[in-house]
Structure 1
């Protein structure tokens, strides 16, 4: 890859390891890290309790500002529907820069359940979803090209290695 900014668009259900991979990539390449959970909880903390897509809308604006000044951006969100995926991609398209869709999954359902039920959050006041809420969440199949990282039955380092290998092979 050259030094042009890139928009890395992470997606995946809660508890699959997406934030771990996204933050590791952000540190490795020195990119701006935007986590929609953090933005949405910030809105809730300032008494906006009925959040629809405001967190995503703010993340899109912040991503665009950072990409315009030449910084790569990591977008970390469930990104579970085509509408949000298209909006992330449109930012890069409008700026004429490359984007990479990265879907993180955990194909072992029992492992995924344990992760959801035992995980902690670094975001103050954030209420994590229950396993039932994760199972009931709408998550549309990707229609575009996406790099897929399956974190099931792997250490974090193995999953990070898989992600870096996919990025190296593809870009």
Structure 2
């Protein structure tokens, strides 16, 4: 199955994706990693545009066709990116679970932005001002919304695990 995690930076997507990958033995596909590899290649500079997403869709489809569960993690600000992940699952003939990770407490969200560190060498992290100014289209179809504001990572993971298990893929 394809599990798509989207949401603004510093909401907890990477933490949840890593935990979920460990629990499900799924492949964690992170668009930030792809984009930084493109930058390191010398072919582009940040922001790289759609290339990271396009490579991600292709990798996800290939891994899904091999029977692997894929956890695709990226901001997914426009609906077109969410649609493309869904299309990859359809082409591979597997179910998709869409998850929006949010941090509903602005003070907590800003604290996370201000205190996080880079885990991908050279990746520029957005500032709080860049995050709040970012265009982020609302989701218009069913998805699992996971609010990480008042929960630890393991507690926030619970609804994800339940959704995966109820799909028969856990």
Q: Same fold (TM over 0.5)?
A: yes
Q: What is the Cα-based RMSD across aligned positions, in Å?
A: 1.3
Point out where structure 2 has 5 or more consecutive residues left out of the alignment: none
**Which residue pairs with 2:105 in the alignment?**
108
| Counterpart position of 2:119 | 122
3-state SS of 1:101 partner: strand
The separation in 1 between residues aligned to 2:60 and 2:164, in whole angstroms, is: 20
Q: What SS is found at the alignment partner of 2:23?
A: helix
C-alpha deviations, 1:109-168, integer Å up to 9, x for none?
000000011101210111100000000111111111100100011112211223323444
Alpha-carbon separation, structure 1, partners of 2:94 and 2:167: 16
1:14-29 equivalences in 2 (<5 Å): 14-29=9-24
CA-CA distance at 1:170 after TM superposition: 6.2
Mapped to 1, the partners of 2:110 and 2:142 lie a distance apart of: 27
TM-score normalized by structure 1?
0.92
**C-alpha deviation, 1:27, in angstroms:** 1.0
What is the aligned partner in structure 1 of residue 3 from structure 2? 8
Instruction: Trace 1:4-153 onto structure 2 (pairs within 5 A).
Output: 6-47=1-42, 48-49=44-45, 51-153=48-150
- Residue 154 (1) aligns with residue 148 (2): no
Which runs of structure 1 show a deviation greater than 3 angstroms over 4 or more consecutive aligned residues? Answer: 165-171
- Superposition deviation, residue 14 in structure 1: 0.3
> How many residues are treated as equivalent by the alignment?
166
- SS of equivalent residue, structure 2 residue 67: coil
SS at match of 1:13: coil
Q: Find the residue that maps to 2:101 and give its secondary structure.
A: strand
Give me the TM-score of the superposition, normalised by structure 2: 0.93
Tell me the SS of whatever aligns to 2:145: strand
**Structure 1: gaps (5+ residues):** 1-5
